[in-house]
Structure 1
Amino acid sequence: MLPSLSSKLFTKAKEVGMMSEGYVWIITYGTTDLLSSLDASIIDSMQGVLGVKPHVPRTKEHENFRVRWKRKFQQDNSTELNAELNIFGLWAYDAAMAIEKLGATSIGGYGKTNISGNSTDLESFGISQSGPKLLQSLLSTTFRGLSGDFHIIDGQLQSSTYQIVNVISNGGRGIGFWTAANGIVRELNSTNSKANLGAIIWPGDTTSLPKGWMIPTNGKKLRVGVPVKDGFSEFVKTTWNSDTNTTTVAGSFQKAPLWDLMFREQS
């Protein structure tokens, strides 16, 4: 979710008692990386939440850029007091640097599309004549950027390290990291697993591991609904088999190794 929507969600969740002991909430970097920009009342409703975000190495280049960016931003936006550069801004900067490394001649000119009288503003944009070539060049480009290693796989910028944070008090407190090589660790460059993971304060201000929903013997089975909509088959795709009278569901929504790993190592 975008921070604006997740803010409303957690406010309502607290109102109905779903931020109390026994509940578990996990947020992705769309909200985790912007915790510092949320109002204090919103942070108060998110106490005990776990979140992950791409880990950005603290380098001299990163710090110098952050200071320059913040100075320039506040010159143009004097009413913003707590402006911070988030991961999306760093990714955008690194993408621009990747294009610059390819050379300005790689971008080429722009051709106009055939615009009808009922066209939208988006349709009025030109199309890069070197777009396919530029795309392939970006996909094969790797370098060390401000956000870390710049490497695109399947159209997505990859992050080799994620930081795990726990929303406590007025912000997020780092409790560990996740890497593809070592899984969950307390410190980077360490092979020690959850034994040294920082203590988690769960919703309800407790350190006791939530057990989850206890299924009653006479309870109804949980039915999960999968939205079926054309145009986003990469996210979810359903295939009907008339011979077996069954539906197969596939897509990227099933690929969540980090969440699976977190729950297995905490259980």
Structure 2
Amino acid sequence: MSQPSRRLHYFTNRWNKKFTRKVQVLSIWAYDIIWALAESIERVGVPQNGTLLLNEILKSKFKGMGGEFRLTERNLISNGYEIVNAVDHEERKVGYWTLSKGITRTLCTFNDDALRSAIGMEDVNWPGGSTVVPTSHCKKLRTGVRIGLTFTYFLHADYGDKNNVTNATGFCVDVFNAFLQVLPYEVPYEFVPYAHGSYDKLIEKVYNKVLDESSITS
């Protein structure tokens, strides 16, 4: 998840006092986009030619509800994601990921002029409770893959002859491969298709050791 801003903390505290439903990430992004639109209209008004307003929006740069708001090639730039190690019912903050720095224990701003401290970061707890990084994987990792999804930009997978996935593409697969590449050892894996049932049933397959993990989802 993206590093939350102090403004977001205040907002969610006020929200939780009035509503039982949690604030959705898409709602936070929509809030910042509307804010960028409003500020742009204040600067250039509402011109007859929408290109002028669009160019003004693309120059927007401010501290939004979801953190730093900045656009490039009409896409929102992320200032980084917080990496969380889930252990039972607890979460351990173990580092950050940014497009420019990759995986680190600290988080830089866009201008790299302020480096956030690594204080509060914890070591990863591996299966079995060990904090020692494993050096090898003899067993092939069986990874559950959702198939038949309509939004293929997140994930698109094809069947193989033996009911295994031979080809998988999309954002989720890119993230999966990026993590494998930074590991100090090779992890053999295979994609196992999952077409029917809920995400809860998919997670149950991990619990029942039918699958080793199910991180390739959307």
Q: State the TM-score, normalized to the length of structure 1.
A: 0.44
Question: Which of the pair has the greater relative contact order for Cα pairs under 8 Å at 6+ separation?
Answer: 1
2:30 equivalent in structure 1: 92
Report matched runs for 1:18-97 at 5 Å.
Answer: 53-57=1-5, 59=6, 61-71=7-17, 73-74=18-19, 80=20, 83-97=21-35
SS in 2 for 1:198: coil
Structure with the higher helix share, 1 or 2: 1
Matched letter for residue 178 of structure 1: W
Between structure 1 and structure 2, the one with the greater Rg is: 1
> 1:151 offset after TM fit, Å?
1.5
Matched letter for residue 46 of structure 2: S
Name the CA shift for 1:98/1:167 in 2 (closer, same or farther; >3 Å). Answer: same
- The one of 105, 122, 125 aligned to 1:186: 105
Structure 2: gaps of 5 or more residues: 108-114, 141-146, 157-167, 186-218
SS in 2 for 1:151: strand
Structure with the higher strand share, 1 or 2: 2
SS in 2 for 1:152: strand
Give the whole-Å Cα distance in 2 for the aligned partners of 1:170 and 1:107.
52
What do residues 79-119 of structure 1 show as CA deviations (whole Å, max 9, x unaligned)? Answer: x3xx44343332121111111112275398xxxxxxxxxxx
- The one of 99, 106, 110 aligned to 2:46: 106
Matched letter for residue 80 of structure 2: T
Tell me if the contact between 2:92 and 2:122 (Cα under 8 Å) persists in the aligned partners.
no
SS in 1 for 2:182: helix
Report matched runs for 1:1-267 at 5 Å.
Answer: 53-57=1-5, 59=6, 61-71=7-17, 73-74=18-19, 80=20, 83-103=21-41, 105-106=45-46, 130=50, 134-188=53-107, 189=115, 198-210=122-134, 211-214=136-139, 256=175, 260=178, 263-267=181-185
Runs of 4+ deviating beyond 4 Å = 132-136, 231-236, 249-256
Equivalent pairs, count = 163
Matched letter for residue 81 of structure 2: Y
Percent identical? 23
Matched letter for residue 177 of structure 1: Y
Name the CA shift for 1:203/1:233 in 2 (closer, same or farther; >3 Å). Answer: closer
Tell me if the contact between 2:155 and 2:171 (Cα under 8 Å) persists in the aligned partners.
yes
Structure 1: gaps of 5 or more residues: 1-52, 75-79, 109-128, 216-226, 237-248
